[in-house]
Amino acid sequence: MSRSWMIVFAIVLGWGTLTNAQFGQIENLTKKAIKKTVEKDDKQAAEDQKTDASKAEEKTAGQGERGARPKARKDADRKFAPGLSFSTVLNGVKMQPKTGDFRLHHIQATFLPENCEGGFIVLRTAEHKELCQWDWTPDNFATKKPYTLLSINKTTDLRTGESISGGSISLTEPGQYVLDFYLPDELFYTFPFSVEKIAGDDPFSGGDAYVLNGDWEKCGYLFYSEANAERSLAWKIWIRHKAIEKLQAKVQIEIKRDADGALVCTNRPDTNYTFTNEWVRYEFDMIFPPQETSAGAYFKAKDLLATDGDYTLIRQRYYGSSFWVSPSDGFPGDDFGSALSWTNYQET
């Protein structure tokens, strides 16, 4: 009960017999009190409405509705739109298997605006609930244009609003997630992935682990430095062993020309590798195959570009016995990408 209404009730209840004049005075006093109370209640209602709107806005931001964030630009008036170097995304999205700590590390953007002062990255569930935000500033001294290192300077848990030291967030709930990369006025990149909890068959292996699934499973590329065809050719791919236990194995990479089935180049297959349940990018230097006069010598990019056509890359993994096992055989725990085909065009 408001104080003004209490005053009116006290006056009415305190007088037994009222004259017309007295009643008129009370009536005027009551009207003034009621008017004051109504004005106060209207003001309070407006304040409550403003507070509710503010809370709703905070709730919307916490739920991660993309409507509360900048939109992606659909115009085509820019020669080069901002983006990310995809290999740095696959290298920079990290999960600690034992603890489920999730963090971002050394991701590079491309073609940011010249006057860019920073932006932010938002982690969401598939239902668009916001979990974490990383604020970044451009580090233009660490890379050459058009690349820019995203330097993380603040991490916020959007569920609590609290700052996080160390830049990592616990992400132990299996499911689908999305990372959205923002400039102050634009959503410019989206990276979906999932988290999975795996268990080991060996009770002494150290318990469960949390692993990432996504584009790591299907991305690989041929590389030669500085786009110089005189440099040696390498095949880069992300590999992990989806199990608690580590796996020791050898790897064989072959590139064949589709037109005649000729083996063009291979890697050095005698190297031993140890694979864990974390995605790691491996680099395999390509060499001339044994039947060539230059057998064992580094295979240069120009040697592949010399002949136009379709080529197929074949991967196999050797498990220490007398046979090769291809990933297509469905060996448990393997994530080794898919066979790739591409067409090369000779430079003119």
Torsion of CA 335, 246, 222, 228, to 10 degrees: 160
* pLDDT for res 203: 67
* % pLDDT > 90, the chain: 55
CATH number attached to the domain at 83-213: 2.60.40
- The CA-to-CA distance between both ends of the chain, in Å, stands at 88
* Three-state secondary-structure class, residue 54: helix
Rounded-to-integer distance, Cα 115 and Cα 32, Å? 60
CATH number attached to the domain at 218-344: 2.60.40.10
The type of residue at 80 is F
If pLDDT is split at 50, 70 and 90, which confidence band does 308 have? very high
Contact between residue 253 and residue 235 where contact means Cβ atoms under 8 Å apart: yes
Structure tokens at 84: 């990310």
**Which residues are paired to 300 by β-bridges?**
232
Mean pLDDT in residue range 29-46:
46
pLDDT for residue 323 is more than 50: no
* pLDDT for res 16: 33
Model-level pTM? 0.73
Rounded-to-integer distance, Cα 21 and Cα 37, Å? 24
* pLDDT for res 61: 40
* pLDDT for res 248: 87
Residues 6+ apart with CB under 8 A from 327: 315, 316, 317, 334, 336, 337, 338
If pLDDT is split at 50, 70 and 90, which confidence band does 142 have? confident
φ/ψ (deg, to 5) at 336: -130, 15
* Three-state secondary-structure class, residue 33: helix
Mean pLDDT in residue range 153-158:
96
If pLDDT is split at 50, 70 and 90, which confidence band does 328 have? very low
Mean pLDDT of the chain: 78
Rounded-to-integer distance, Cα 99 and Cα 93, Å? 15
Rounded-to-integer distance, Cα 288 and Cα 18, Å? 115
Compute CA 96 distance to the chain's CA centroid, rounded to the nearest angstrom: 15
If pLDDT is split at 50, 70 and 90, which confidence band does 46 have? low
